[in-house]
Amino acid sequence: MKVVLATPNSKAHTITPPIGVGYLAATLREKGHVPVIMDLAKLRLNGDAAAAAVLNQEPDLIGVSILSTAYMPARELIRSIRARRPEVPLVVGGPHVTALPEDALEDLEVNLGVIGEGEHVFPEFVDRIASGKQFNGDMPSLCRRRDGGVICSTRPPFLKDLDSLPFPAWDLIDPRTYPDLAHQLLHKKFPVAPVMTSRGCPFDCNFCASTTLWGRGWRSRSPGNVVDEIELLVRNFQVREIHFEDDNFTLKGDHAAAICEEIIRRHLKIAWCTPNGVRVDSLDEELVKLMKRSGCYGLAFGIESGSQEVLDHNNKKLDLGKVAAKIEMVKRHDIETHGFFIIGLPGETVDTIKETIRFARRLPLDRANFALLAPLPGSDIFQEYILGHGNGAKIDYSALNYFTPFPMGELNARALNGWQRRAVFSFYGRPRQLWSLARHTRPAQIKEVVKALVHYST
């Protein structure tokens, strides 16, 4: 079958190859199907134009992978496809559907959804569609809309042997064809490719959906398998920079160290960074030295708040007293540092926001993100504050971004927006930070950097 895998557009300033559907495409090929990836974010297409682009591929089956932050464009895309070609089978999946399968299928008016890790389940699903077999609830990870409700079968255990998966179908998401707008926007070299070396996280921060998507365990690929993929990207696609997108790349130092050693052993001259962040308390001097030797030029850290009370309230197991020394150690090895902070977590007050701003300014950070809390489906915050207090009201998924406030305490929406602006301009309104931002902005990124600043200031 010809299967078109579509990733909807969103308002994100960055555009990266969607390796999730890249993995699905690779597993479909192994089964003899013909996958096509339509990255509508790269094409910047929405609505009818996006639907036309998908249908122009003449698919036998359409799969739409949905992030919560792209839910509204996904709904628009699906409705337009249905209006034009209702006879083409359509299935949804991805993080949003995994977190909220019943709500998603009902709201999207889609009959079939696949939840969880799809690499082993989705090819079987396509085989059944191709052979005309019925779905009777015997297939794992499948949700069906029927009899006025949604029925989901059980999810199988998480994949243990990640090396058993083929590499993503990189020819369908060629990094050379993507704009110079990789994750976190600023980077060193181009082309850039994202790589995941592990799945899952044993921590359970209540603002994070990772445990819903990947489980509380941590599973890794072997270092050789990871570097085989990097070598393929360098050789076949002229990739010059790698972004490790793990939820917890340095959770086990020996795993990260072995990857660095293998990169060095193979003489791969690449730059790399961790735009998804690492735990700052997982680093030691020996590992940081090795990272630098293997090409690491930047590490991002999920710090989240400058208030220990707020961190503890949100189950972020991080001792703020250790953060500054760790970041100073990273800086001594000439590695750029980037801090992530969240404004508006449960328990937040004006005083704790002020603590966060002061803390961020004291740290030797080159850059910092100050995002408003986005209560992502699958997180404990979403479960408690959105579903638990929703009183049956329909969820406004258009507000799931990092600029729309979700007041959860004494601060109203206007105050949260104001404090976000104040945090950004307090941090970047210093010569060193302005210079760091300017010298790392490449010409192709200027427009999106300006747009991001406008987002913060309006």
**At 405, phi and psi to the nearest 5?**
-75, 145
Q: How many residues does the chain have?
A: 458
- C-alpha distance across the termini of the chain, in Å: 47
Report the pLDDT value the prediction gives residue 76, as an integer from 0 to 100.
97
Residue for token digits 């207090």? Answer: 389
pLDDT 10s digit of each residue in the chain, 458 long? 999 999 999 888 899 999 999 999 999 999 999 999 999 999 999 999 999 999 999 999 999 999 999 999 999 999 999 999 999 999 999 999 999 999 999 999 999 999 999 998 999 999 999 998 887 778 999 999 988 899 999 998 999 999 999 999 999 999 999 999 888 878 889 999 999 999 999 999 999 999 999 988 899 999 999 999 999 999 999 999 999 999 999 999 999 999 999 999 999 999 999 999 999 999 999 999 999 999 999 999 999 999 999 999 999 999 999 999 999 999 999 999 999 999 999 999 999 999 999 999 999 999 999 999 999 999 999 998 888 765 455 788 888 888 899 998 789 999 999 999 999 999 999 988 888 888 777 777 777 777 766 666 55
Query: Using CB atoms within 10 A of its CB, is residue 134 exposed (0-12), middle (13-18) or buried (19+)?
Result: exposed
Ordered domains of the chain (ranges, CATH): 2-152 (3.40.50.280), 174-457 (3.80.30.20)
Q: Are 93 and 61 in contact (CB under 8 A)?
A: no
pLDDT of residue 184: 84
Contact (Cβ atoms closer than 8 angstroms) between residue 175 and residue 193: yes
The residue to which tokens 């181009």 are assigned: 190
Which position has the token pair 């750029």?
A: 336
Q: Which helix (H) or strand (E) is 423 found in, with range?
A: helix 413-428
Distance in angstroms (rounded) separating the CA atoms of residues 79 and 311:
41
**How far is it, in rounded angstroms, from Cα 44 to Cα 370?**
26
